[in-house]
Amino acid sequence: MNTFSLFQRVIAVCSFLLCMFAGTVVQAKEKTALLFIPLDNRPVCFSYPVKVMESAGYKIYTPPEKLLATRTAPADTEKLWKWLESRAEKVDAAVISTDALIYGGLVASRTHSMSMPELEAKVRRLQNLRMDKDTRLYGFSTLMRTPRESYGNVEPAYYSNVGPAIFRYSQLSDKSDLHAETLLEDFEVGAFERNLAKAHLKDWLDRRNKNMEINHQLAMLTRVGRFEYFAIGKDDNAPLSHTHMEARKILLNNGYLSDESFQILPGVDQLGLLLLTRAANALSKQAPTVYPMYVEGVGPKTIPQYSDLPLSKSVPEQVVAAGGKIVYSPDAADVVLAINTPADGTMYDSTNLSNSYYASPANKRYIVNLGKMLERGVNISLADVAFSNGGDNGFMNEMSLRGFTEKLSAYNGWNTADNTVGFAIAQGMLAPQIAKDKKLMLMRERILDDWYYQSNARRIITDELEKNKKEAYKYALNEMMPKIKKQAMDIISRLAVNYDITAGTKFDVVFPWNRLFEVDIVKLQQDKGNLRFRSRSAKGLLPDVPVYTK
């Protein structure tokens, strides 16, 4: 064998080994594995966080959906525990909903009849959970919500009748705990205690006390190092409420825990994705920087519906929860979090008649500024929280007609402001790891759901049901589902063809909890051959949707 031939063989072998090594590195990155037990099977809690993380290159192991809580049935907790305890895959980190494992899900946490010993046994099971020594464990729970009213069997049955009275009683109890009640309010508390059915009030308070004690015990597990990080989410609440009062007491009892290991946050449904993002950031030893950029007006002083904190406090808290840091200049930020808030700080549901297709002059100025940043390639994630439970028609119409929407890294406008902000933070942080086509598909899903459905289809369908005295179908679609699905598909489709980002999009709609409040956008595909591009000069042209009149 001559020297040249030997040299060629050595080069070939080295190249082969180099390729193998490079392939191994790529594969290892793709195989970064996270275990995830969601709160329940709603898309925003289960399938959507998984899609986002998988789009960013992570392998996510979840229980079979049949083990998770639905609207009408709690999770099969024993099978869920066995799945967790005997998982076959080695994972780098685990993110678990303790409500799923202890109560059987969110609705079950509000309606269960388990005894305190039964609940404590599950906390001990969590304490004794055997995991690989290098696996990082992250957990989240909820503080029971204090809604002003509730329908559709997601609270105890009596809440539909006495919910407003219990909410007022809750406000006064919190005020009394702060020693801020007036003499008249003190008498009002006594009147509620005398006149509310004792069985109803006792049932409600007993379950709250159990929930409070379990959260104390979970915080204790964080103190002793069971969790790398633990978050308690304040389900729908208000500045004066039992939820607000209980959070204050738990924080006082755990004041020495750093917010790097323990936090109580407004909102619940966003916590799964927030903690998955935190785990990913910790594994890659990153702490992304975030600059919150508000529209003109009240902005950071806004206290959203269903929250007890202004955005100036809750946004930084959620950035910390995701493993990031707040910065005070867009030039120093990895993520610009664009936050569309109501100008006067008053937030209504997206179905409110004030949600028109006209952007205010202030919003137009803000959007022009966003456009300049997007042209420079700035990573902008939009949290659309001018309204609750859906997008701002005027703001998004203006963004889309100017061709800016498809240049965003992410868009969110669903459910409460805190839910939306949490998702927007997480997706903004993950955006550099997500390919452009996958970002666009994730964004289309949210636009079809949060903007077209929630702010438009849901409003039109709700108006029709109320007009025909069929309000009950909002909470249980039942035999009306085929008709309502067709209406929803028609309205969403008519909106979709008006904007470049969704023109040519094929999709289907399902109602996973048999109610009008949420949909799942499925079978999403982009048919590039049927794209209908709108002229950029068509500013102010409104979509072909019905005019909303009272």
CB under 8 Å to 218, separation ≥6 — which residues?
98, 123, 126, 139, 141, 230, 232
CB under 8 Å to 434, separation ≥6 — which residues?
52, 55, 56, 442
For 282-335, the pLDDT digits (tens) are 999 999 999 999 999 999 999 999 999 999 999 999 999 999 999 999 999 999
| Residue 268 confidence (pLDDT) | 97
Sign of CA dihedral 134, 135, 136, 137: negative
- The residue with tokens 């803000």 is 366
For 446-470, the pLDDT digits (tens) are 999 999 999 999 999 999 999 999 9
Where are the domains positioned within the chain?
Answer: 1-29, 31-149+208-285
Nearest-CA neighbor of 495 among 453, 549, 450? 453
| Residue 131 confidence (pLDDT) | 87
| Residue 526 confidence (pLDDT) | 80
31-149+208-285: CATH class: alpha beta
| Residue 544 confidence (pLDDT) | 47
Nearest-CA neighbor of 301 among 293, 292, 312, 291? 312
> Which segments in the chain show pLDDT lower than 50?
3-4, 6-7, 10-11, 13-30, 530-544, 546-550
Q: Report d(CA 401, CA 536) in Å as an integer.
A: 6
Q: Report d(CA 174, CA 36) in Å as an integer.
A: 35
